[in-house]
Amino acid sequence: MSEGGKRSSSNGFEKPLTTEDQQARVNDMRRLVGPLPDKIRCPFIVLMHQLQDI
């Protein structure tokens, strides 16, 4: 799991994503996954936790 930042070769850590960047990544994931039934919809925070591990 992520410890607050991902390693990068340039300075040791990547800059945290802005809210707009985070929302764009979530929207991309939702587009890739496609429509989901209401019973298994993921809230924004759940998707953000998953994206941090990518």
Which residue, 50, 48, 4, 53, is CA-closest to 23?
48
Separation CA 35–CA 16 (nearest Å) = 28
Residue with tokens 């298994």: 40
Separation CA 54–CA 34 (nearest Å) = 19
pTM score of the predicted model: 0.41
Per-residue pLDDT of the chain (54 residues), as tens digits, is: 444 444 444 556 777 878 898 899 888 988 887 776 665 666 777 777 777 766
Listed by start position, the domains of the chain span: 1-54
Q: Which two tokens stand for residue 1?
A: 């799991």
